[in-house]
Amino acid sequence: MTDAAATDTRAETRELQRIRLHLARSKDFPDGSARHGYEFVAPLDASGHIDAEAWKDVREACTVTRFWGNDTPESGYLVRRAGGVSGASWVFDYEQNASDDDETGYRFGDHAFAPGEYVSLRDEDGEMHTFVVFSVVPA
């Protein structure tokens, strides 16, 4: 691949996408819930995976909003932290100087973000929740 082709490929993957997750069916929510979830911005590659290399260049634009029923929405950033199954984990970070409020995506790097797909997140209390990808649109 030429340098120009590599640059073009990176530019394509840098197009940011707005991804909306809704709580999937669970014991507490047998029908799931559109009132509980997340909306975040991330660069996705052609197969719908978060592009870690492109993220490095656009990380300040990779925001997240957590909406949870009647609770006040929380805002933060999508960050990549060392550790986890594949050497790094994607985390929703709400306070940059604290980690006790972070919520970690379970194998986010392995999942394609496309409507109808399922992903899981571990909340700040350590509970795992499953979400359905509701929408993916240009940010």
Tens of pLDDT along 82-126?
A: 876 667 899 999 988 766 678 999 989 899 999 999 999 998 888
What pLDDT does residue 97 have? 77
Neighbours of 78 (CB within 10 A): 23
Question: For 26-51, what is each residue's pLDDT tens digit?
Answer: 999 999 999 999 999 999 999 999 99
- Supply the pTM of this predicted model: 0.86
Question: Where are the chain's structural domains?
Answer: 16-134
Question: CA 31, CA 22: separation in Å to the nearest integer?
Answer: 11
Average of per-residue pLDDT values in the chain:
88
121: region left, alpha or beta (phi > 0 left; psi from -120 to 50 alpha): beta
How does strand 103-106 pair with strand 118-122?
Answer: antiparallel
Burial level of 86, CB count in 10 A (0-12/13-18/19+)? exposed
